[in-house]
Amino acid sequence: MNLATFRSRVARVSGLSTSDSADLADLDSWINEAVEQFNRETKLNIATASLAVTADQDTYSLDTDILAMQALWYAPADSQSALMTALAPETLIERKLTMTGEDTPPRYYALIGGNALMLWPAPTSSTETLHMLYVPRHAALSLTADSPATSSKGNVPEEYHPILEAYAKWKACEAEDHRMSQFGNVFKEQWDTGVAKVKAEVKKKAGINVPAVRLGRPRHVPVGNGIDLR
């Protein structure tokens, strides 16, 4: 689907008008929000980046185009790279204040606010590198022919476009007090179900299986799905 199709389908259900400039602005806002939220929650689209660190500097500013983190690993100059563990900001700061003399490469990180990344312990060399997998922010849909299937506009496969449509309908019907959809809740359920399905498909494609619960036996906790920035 392209932007024009999204607009008409959402407007038809919610009662908004594509010929009204204010309604059109709202429609476009919700449609683009749907693309962003879909990528943040499913982490279907992942990009890579590297960050050169500075000795004794433990906090770095992230690019605003980073919506969510999937994984971080640190590459020391004289030892093997290691996957880093995410901590709550308060936990990491407590370690920083109470545990001194740690002569090891950074092993933990915390996301603080919208774009601050704190490492612990702090890097000891400026020749080392932090690598990351992250969810990128895409360019907004603005022209009627724009499609979220385009790599620069969301990179969301067409089979998932009905999920984006459900999100936009949810927000539009909520704003319009649309009683037939229970004020948008019917479409919110479609959105939640669709996102959950995509998350399961992504994990299955990666070979991550959620084991069945067996009483009396230890249960392995499956790998998580990254860390959101907000």
**Based on the domain organization, do 110 and 65 belong to the same domain?**
yes
Residue 128 resides in a domain: yes
How many structural domains compose the chain?
2
Specify the pTM.
0.82
164 assigned to some structural domain: no
Residue 130, domain extent: 47-135
Q: Looking at the structure, do residues 112 and 65 belong to the same domain, yes or no?
A: yes
| Residue 124 contacts residue 115 (beta carbons within 8 Å) | no
Does residue 227 lie within any of the structural domains?
Answer: no
Helix boundaries (H) for the chain: 3-14, 21-42, 89-98, 161-175, 185-205
pLDDT, tens digit, for every residue of 8-19? 999 999 999 999
User: What pLDDT does residue 225 have?
Assistant: 46
* pLDDT tens per residue, range 27-70: 999 999 999 999 999 999 999 999 999 999 999 999 888 998 88
Instruction: Please give the DSSP secondary-structure letter assigned to residue 209.
Output: -
Rounded Cα–Cα distance for residues 30 and 28 (Å): 6
How much is the pLDDT for 174? 96
Are 193 and 118 contained in the same domain?
A: no
CB atoms within 10 A of CB 178: 21
Residues 82 and 128 occupy one common structural domain: yes
My answer on whether 38 and 96 are in the same domain is no
> Looking at the structure, do residues 33 and 90 belong to the same domain, yes or no?
no
167, 140 Cβ separation under 8 angstroms: no
Cβ atoms of 83 and 71 closer than 8 Å:
yes
On whether residue 110 sits in a domain, the answer given is yes
| pLDDT at 211 (0 to 100) | 56
In a domain, 96, yes or no: yes
Residues 23, 59 within the same domain? no
**Rounded Cα gap, residues 121 and 179, in angstroms:** 54
Q: Same structural domain for residues 84 and 56?
A: yes
Instruction: Please indicate, yes or no, whether residues 98 and 109 belong to a single structural domain of this protein.
Output: yes
Q: Are residues 40 and 53 in the same domain?
A: no
Does one domain contain both 52 and 125? Answer: yes
Whether residue 222 is contained in a domain is answered as no
111 in the same domain as 39: no
Structure tokens at 109: 């990180």
Residue 63's nearest CA partner among 51, 46, 76 is 51
Close Cβ partners of 1 (under 8 Å, ≥ 6 residues apart): 9, 147, 148, 158, 161, 165
Residue 108, domain member (yes or no)? yes
pLDDT digits (tens, 9 = 90+) for 168-227: 999 999 999 999 999 999 999 999 999 999 999 988 877 766 555 455 544 444 444 455
